[in-house]
Amino acid sequence: MSLYETPLTTLEGDKTTLGQWQGDVLLLVNVASKCGLTPQYEQLEALQRKYHQQGFNVIGFPCNQFLGQEPGDPQDIKTFCSTTYGVTFPMSGKIDVNGAQRHPLYQQLVAAQPQAVAPPDSDFLARMVSKGRSPKQTGDILWNFEKFLIDRQGNVVARFSPDMLPDDTHILVQIEKALADRC
């Protein structure tokens, strides 16, 4: 099954797939409302607004697997994101990104890109390990706000660590490269 065929549920509870964005560049991000990294919503929304007309979409995947940092119901999540950060990009219903119940989409993403690129001199992984929060399996999502970049052909071309900010030059270069490729 391709990424585009994987069943998803929207935050509103509707059944869908990524197929509606086939041909677009996508940045898929597991998100949470009560995380120290939650302010990344602002930068993610800025990316959505900057590149949307060129065929780009951020898609958020709420996840409550990291210290229960996404405890709300769908309406709580939607209200928080729209009123606090002005989020307009699409969001799925809550999913698991690790473990036995890992969503099939994340199974594909992790298989395609088992390791995330981190900012230079990042100590995020070391801090997680020191707090006993190291990944359980190779390829596990480390924390909230890990990002996957999908090109127009549906290929997972990059994976970025949670502490790589959405407006990091490395991410912007990769997005612009993917947008320029019209094959």
By annotation, the residues acting in catalysis are 35
Query: Running DSSP on this structure, what letter comes out for residue 10?
Result: B
Structure tokens belonging to residue 4: 């585009």
Angle between helices 74-85 and 40-51 (to 10 degrees): 80
Nearest alpha-carbon partner for 11 in 41, 31, 26: 31
- Single-letter residue type at 144: N
Query: Running DSSP on this structure, what letter comes out for residue 94?
Result: P
Nearest alpha-carbon partner for 128 in 149, 105, 145, 103: 145
3-class SS of residue 92? strand
